[in-house]
Every structure is written in C-alpha cells, then in structure tokens.
C-alpha cells in the first residue's frame, strides 16, 4: 500500500467506530459516515495536512469536503486491499473500471434476500462486529428480470368454498418485493386499501437487525416496495404505513416523493395505551405512540367512509352523554376512543399466544379493531385489501370477518404457520377481536402458495453453514447447478489457495453469496415450461390461473 493510503488509514484509526474489535477495518462504516458528512470524520480528515489537502478544497475561505473523491479512495481496490477485497477483485467481481459492482452508479435496488431476517440483535456487543452481507445492489437490467412475475407453487386451499368458487384471499409465502411485483400483472389499480406494518428499524425488534440494516438501507427497502404498492392501488384507494419515531419522519419524506405531497392525507397518532411499571421509568416524557402515515393514490378521487364511534363503544371513563363521537387523527387519545394495544389488553384473547399456543408470539401483532377502522374507511365488502408485512395475519382476519377479500405476503416460516392456524380458527368462527361486533360466525376461504424457489436454497445453506468444508461443498453444488453469476468464471476460483483460506468465515459466506446468480433465486413465470425447473403440472395450472391466463 502506498504511503498516502497508509496515512489515510492511520488517520481513520483515531476513530474507533471504523475498526472492529479484532482490528479489521470497517470500510462501509467509513463510507457511510462520509456520505452523511459525519462531523467527527470531517474533523479527523481536516486535522491531518495530507488528508486535508487531498479531500478538501478551499472556496472563499471555507474548506469544502470532496465526499465523492473520498468515497472513491475508500472503495478503490488499491486502498487497503483486505483479504476479501483482494480475493474478490482477483476473480473479477469488480466492473471493468476496477470499481466494486455494488458501488457503481447504475445500482438501484437493494437485493431482496431476507433483508429483514438478519442474524443477531443489535446488542452492544454486536455493534463492533464485522459488517454482514445480506444487502446487495443490482444493476437495472438485473432488476427488471428480478421483478418479473414468479411461478407459484405448493398451493393449498383452506376453508369452506367449493372446488371452483373464488376464494376470499391469498397468502403468499416469500419475499414481499417479488410477491408484490408478481401481483402487478393481475392487480394493478385493483387494490382499494393497503395496510403496512413494516419493521420499524428499532434495532431490537423481532427481526433482529444488525448494523448493516441502517437508515439508507431501510429507506431503499421501503422505496422499492412502496413504488410497486402505488401501482397496485386503485384510483380511489388509500395506503396506511404504521411506524414509530425511528423512521417515520424519513418515511414521510419518502412517501411525499412517491405519492406526491398532495396525496398526504393524515399523520395519525395512535396512543398505545395506559402506562404502568417499567414503562414509566424514563426520566423524560414517556414515549407512548406509533405514527400511521395515510396517503391517497389520488386526492381528488379518494374514497372515505366517514364514521363515528357509537355511544356503546365509548371508553368506560367517558362522562359525556353524547350519542356518538367523530374519530380524530389521534387514536385512543380521548375518553371516547377505545383502541388500546392488544399487548395491554391481552386478556381479550386476541394475541396469538392466547389464541393458539403459549410459544406462538409475533412481536408487533396489531389489534383487529385498529385495522378494521382503516379497512372500513376505504372499502366495501368484496373489495381487496393488501398487506405485505403479514405477521400473524391480523389484516387477513379482519378482512374475513368484514367480508373483504385479501392478499397477504409473509416470508418467515414461523409467522406463516401461525397465520394459517389463526385464519383456520377465524374460519371456524373464533370470537376474539372484532368478531362479536361484526356478528362473525365463521366461514370464508383462502389459498396459501409460495414463490417457487430455485437457488434460494443455496443461499439459505450458505447462511446457515458453520464450517469451511460445508462452504466448499456448497460451492461445488453451485458450480454444478449452473446457478453462478455470469460475471464469474469458475475456472479462476480456487478454494484451496491461501487467499481463500485467509478469509474470515463471514467473508467466505459473503463471497459465495456474491457468486450466486440473484436472478435464479426464484423461477420466473416466463420460464414455467422450462424442463430444467421441473414445475409440476398442478403448479403450472395454479400459476396460470393466478395470473388469469386460463
Ligand atoms: C411487525 S410484523 C407485522 C405484524 C402484523 N401487522 C400483525 O398484526 O401480526 C412485520 C412482518 O413482516 C414480515 N416481513 C418483513 N420483511 C419482509 C419481507 N421482505 N418479505 C416478506 N415479509 C416480510 C416479518 O416477517 C413480520 O412477520
């Protein structure tokens, strides 16, 4: 490494955020700090004559930071060619200019592989560990292929409908970006209401984030999905996104951009419930609300069924004799509006751990009443609602109980399993949540299906591997199966060389993930008849009927 690069490294070494506990350099952390014009980083770079000279330009007496130039240096292959980069560059995962593919300007999508199922929580100990690799970026032509409609398999019908009757809903298992882009063929402009309860990006919610799932990643993750959601919405439709203080203000700006400021309708403050015990401990104003952003597709055509809280539903503490009360944009915030979190009123039997088994729990399960309020404001019986962060299936349960149709996506096996058991109970007429209010006695039906996976299983194997030999075995399966990126020439890869051996285990995993052809994670509908993919006749027939082609 040249003296210049050595010097940059020495300067950066003064900030412990940029190095892992084992002393290795956290390139992405530095890059991220530079892009955000982090003042501590700028201060450091200004404090050294060489870095000041190289990365700052004096304009009218003011030092202006050249963040593009700095970013380029940080990501340049000559700078700190750590073992991973050296190995990766050697086999050509950099583009022809020698830049990382993932850093190149034509990148626009966060690779949708299990973005939310990152390992580990963000505990103190986790903060300094090495960056992980699950988020990747793709070039536009790859994005197009990735978002092609997918083949759907393993369908199973639940409920009471006869063989040919239309079902009330679909539950699609798989990555929601691919699931909703598959919906575009048939459902563009057809969805009346979308309710989304995405990961809040709290750093400690049920998904177990790690530090690589940072704000910009979260925003890209949401942007990719909201753009498709907008296309699916009907002209009179509405979308609600439930968040908390971690991301809501950034999400507001993002949604203004996607839906247009004129389509911003309300910022709903949902007061979670009364406070007791440890929740009161903070020496500050106690946090006690979520924010729900409500946008229309077209403000001039928005359908809104206004309704009032009837007297019999007022809170017990209500003193007024009013017959009814309008619903404000602060929910559960006055003496009439009774909408406490189900975590607080768990005795109601609505939480899945009460309704199903004690071990069944999905953090963040919402109350049926909350979602009923949203759905009823924008739909009539028979209309379709969409929720692609399905969780325990509250939106589906509400749709069934109120006669709406639904499409739900969920990627985690555990949550899919809970949702199916819950919905079967709903179909059998269970009486928690909004059942009594809606005279629910059971009935209804839905179809479960999955996005057909291909080398997704290889990706799963890479991530769950724990030993070198396993990785080698996976690599030879990858080469044999041909699911290897066309940017890579297997003849140039030697897993017995010292450079491979020198990589950390995590870098080895990251490397193999980089070799996988992301467009072969799932089977595209246009390839349904390709014998290589062995799609059964039954699955073909189902997929065609799903896309309305039979
Ligand atoms: C907060 S929970 C939703 C809870 C739900 N509203 C309820 O009442 O049960 C968010 C859900 O989104 C799912 N999820 C997150 N990212 C996803 C993705 N990329 N594709 C599909 N599902 C995803 C998670 O597995 C989780 O079950």
- pLDDT band at 387, cuts 50/70/90? very high
Average pLDDT over residues 275-282: 90
Q: Is the CB of 75 under 6 A from ligand 1?
A: no
pLDDT in the model for residue 28: 77
Nearest CA to ligand 1 atom 7: 365
pLDDT tens profile 143-187? 777 789 999 999 999 998 677 778 999 999 988 988 999 999 999
Nearest to 221 by CA among 247, 245, 244: 247
Task: Answer yes or no: is pLDDT of 319 > 90.
Answer: no
The top-scoring range by mean pLDDT among 112-121, 157-166, 511-520, 522-531 is 522-531
Task: Answer yes or no: is pLDDT of 269 > 70.
Answer: yes
Q: Is the CB of 391 under 6 A from ligand 1?
A: yes
pLDDT in the model for residue 113: 33
Question: For residue 26, which phi and psi values (nearest 5 degrees)?
Answer: -100, 85
Cross-strand partners of 110: 137
Distance 488 CA to ligand 1 centre (A): 34
Q: Whole-structure pTM over 0.85, yes or no?
A: no
Instruction: For the chain, give the percent of residues with pLDDT over 90.
Output: 52
Distance 133 CA to ligand 1 centre (A): 21
Average pLDDT over residues 383-389: 98
Task: Answer yes or no: is pLDDT of 336 > 80.
Answer: yes
Q: Is the CB of 362 under 6 A from ligand 1?
A: yes
Average pLDDT over residues 270-283: 92
Distances (CA, A) of 473 to 30, 465, 467, 497: 34, 10, 10, 16
Average pLDDT over residues 49-54: 91
Distance 222 CA to ligand 1 centre (A): 13
Rounded-to-integer distance, Cα 421 and Cα 417, Å = 6
Rounded-to-integer distance, Cα 43 and Cα 11, Å = 10
410, 416, 419, 522: which to mutate for ligand 1, most atoms within 8 A of CB?
Answer: 410
Q: Is the CB of 396 under 6 A from ligand 1?
A: no
Tell me the angle at which helices 67-75 and 27-35 cross, rounded to the nearest 10 degrees: 170
Nearest to 259 by CA among 230, 233, 231: 230
Q: Which residues contact 16 (CB under 8 A, 6 or more apart)?
A: 128
Q: How many C-beta atoms lie closer than 10 Å to residue 404's C-beta?
A: 25
Average pLDDT over residues 63-91: 69
Enumerate the domain spans of the chain: 3-127, 166-434
Instruction: For the chain, give the percent of residues with pLDDT over 70.
Output: 83
Task: Answer yes or no: is pLDDT of 446 > 50.
Answer: yes
What's the chain's average pLDDT?
Answer: 83
Distance 374 CA to ligand 1 centre (A): 18
Q: Is the CB of 355 under 6 A from ligand 1?
A: no
pLDDT in the model for residue 103: 46
Query: Would you identify the CATH topology of the domain 166-434?
Result: Rossmann fold (3.40.50)
Distance 391 CA to ligand 1 centre (A): 4
Cross-strand partners of 270: 290, 331
Q: Is the CB of 175 under 6 A from ligand 1?
A: yes
410 SS3 class: strand
> Read out DSSP for 133-176?
----EE-HHHHHHHTS-B-EEEEEEEES--TTSPPSEEEEES-H
Q: Is the CB of 366 under 6 A from ligand 1?
A: yes
Question: Counting atoms of ligand 1 from 1, which one is nearest the CA of 175?
Answer: 20
Least trusted range by pLDDT, from 129-133, 305-309, 342-346 = 129-133
Distance 319 CA to ligand 1 centre (A): 39
Task: Answer yes or no: is pLDDT of 331 > 80.
Answer: yes
Q: How many C-beta atoms lie closer than 10 Å to residue 287's C-beta?
A: 12
120 SS3 class: coil
How far, rounded to the nearest angstrom, does the alpha carbon of residue 38 sit from its chain's CA centroid? 26
Q: Which residues contact 141 (CB under 8 A, 6 or more apart)?
A: none
pLDDT in the model for residue 2: 65
pLDDT in the model for residue 483: 74
- pLDDT band at 120, cuts 50/70/90? very low
Nearest CA to ligand 1 atom 2: 391
Distance 491 CA to ligand 1 centre (A): 41
For residues 355 and 489, which has the higher predicted lDDT (pLDDT)?
A: 355
Rounded-to-integer distance, Cα 435 and Cα 438, Å = 5
- pLDDT band at 308, cuts 50/70/90? very high
Q: Bin 97: left if φ > 0, else alpha if -120 < ψ < 50, else beta.
A: alpha
Q: Is the CB of 240 under 6 A from ligand 1?
A: no
Q: Is the CB of 412 under 6 A from ligand 1?
A: yes
- pLDDT band at 1, cuts 50/70/90? low
pLDDT in the model for residue 519: 67
Rounded-to-integer distance, Cα 295 and Cα 377, Å = 13
Question: Counting atoms of ligand 1 from 1, which one is nearest the CA of 389?
Answer: 12
Question: Counting atoms of ligand 1 from 1, which one is nearest the CA of 221?
Answer: 19
Q: Is the CB of 116 under 6 A from ligand 1?
A: yes
Distances (CA, A) of 323 to 263, 320, 342, 434: 32, 9, 26, 21
Distance 385 CA to ligand 1 centre (A): 16
Q: Is the CB of 199 under 6 A from ligand 1?
A: yes
389, 394, 415, 426: which to mutate for ligand 1, most atoms within 8 A of CB?
Answer: 389
Distance 210 CA to ligand 1 centre (A): 17
pLDDT tens profile 524-537? 999 999 887 889 99
How far, rounded to the nearest angstrom, does the alpha carbon of residue 544 sit from its chain's CA centroid? 27
Q: Is the CB of 351 under 6 A from ligand 1?
A: no
């Amino acid at each position: 490494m040249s003296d210049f690069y050595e010097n940059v490294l020495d300067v950066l070494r003064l900030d412990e955020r940029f190095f892992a506990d084992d002393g290795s350099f956290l390139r992405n952390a530095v890059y991220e700090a530079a892009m955000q014009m982090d003042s501590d980083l700028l201060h450091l770079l200004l404090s050294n004559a060489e870095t000041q000279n190289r990365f700052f330009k004096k304009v009218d007496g003011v030092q202006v930071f050249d963040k593009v130039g700095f970013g380029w240096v940080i990501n340049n292959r000559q700078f700190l060619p750590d073992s991973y980069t050296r190995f990766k560059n050697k086999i050509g995962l950099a583009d022809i200019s020698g830049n990382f593919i993932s850093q190149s300007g034509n990148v626009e999508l966060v690779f949708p592989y299990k973005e939310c199922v990152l390992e580990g929580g963000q505990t103190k100990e986790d903060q300094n560990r090495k960056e992980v690799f699950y988020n990747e970026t793709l070039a536009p032509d790859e994005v197009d292929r990735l978002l092609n409609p997918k083949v759907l398999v393993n369908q199973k019908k639940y409920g009471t409908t006869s063989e040919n009757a239309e079902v009330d809903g679909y539950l699609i298992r798989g990555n929601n970006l691919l699931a909703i882009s598959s919906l575009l063929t048939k459902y563009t402009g057809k969805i009346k209401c979308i309710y989304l309860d995405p990961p809040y990006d709290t750093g400690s919610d049920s998904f177990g984030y790690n530090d690589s799932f940072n704000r910009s990643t979260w925003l890209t993750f949401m942007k990719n999905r909201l753009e498709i959601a907008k296309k699916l919405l009907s002209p009179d439709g509405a979308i609600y996104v439930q968040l908390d203080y971690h991301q809501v203000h950034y999400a507001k700006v993002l949604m203004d951009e996607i839906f247009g400021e004129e389509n911003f309708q309300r910022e709903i403050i949902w007061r979670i419930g009364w406070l007791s015990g440890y929740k009161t401990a903070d020496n500050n104003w106690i946090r006690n609300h979520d924010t729900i952003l409500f946008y229309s597709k077209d403000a001039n055509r928005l359908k809104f069924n206004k309704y009032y809280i009837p007297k019999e539903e007022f809170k017990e503490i209500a003193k007024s004799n009013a017959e009814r009360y309008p619903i404000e944009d602060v929910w559960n915030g006055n003496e009439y509006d009774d909408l406490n979190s189900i975590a607080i009123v768990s005795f109601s039997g609505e939480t899945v751990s009460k309704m199903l088994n004690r071990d069944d729990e999905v953090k963040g399960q919402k109350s049926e009443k909350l979602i009923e309020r949203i759905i009823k404001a924008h739909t009539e019986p028979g209309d379709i609602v969409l929720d692609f962060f399905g969780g325990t299936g509250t939106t589906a349960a509400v749709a069934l109980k109120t006669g709406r149709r639904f499409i739900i996506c969920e990627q985690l096996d555990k949550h899919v399993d809970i949702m199916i058991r819950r919905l079967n109970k709903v179909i059998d007429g269970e009486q928690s949540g909004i059942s009594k209010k809606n005279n629910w006695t059971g009935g209804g039906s839905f179809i479960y299906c999955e996005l057909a996976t291909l080398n997704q299983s290889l990706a799963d194997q890479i991530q769950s591997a724990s030993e070198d030999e396993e990785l080698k075995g996976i690599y030879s399966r990858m080469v044999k199966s041909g699911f290897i990126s066309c940017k890579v020439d297997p003849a140039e890869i030697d897993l017995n060389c010292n450079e491979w051996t020198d990589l950390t285990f995590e870098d080895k995993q990251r490397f193999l993930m980089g070799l996988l052809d992301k467009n072969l994670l799932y089977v595209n509908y246009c390839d349904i008849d390709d014998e290589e993919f062995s799609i059964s006749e039954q699955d073909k027939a189902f997929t065609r009927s799903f896309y309305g082609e039979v």
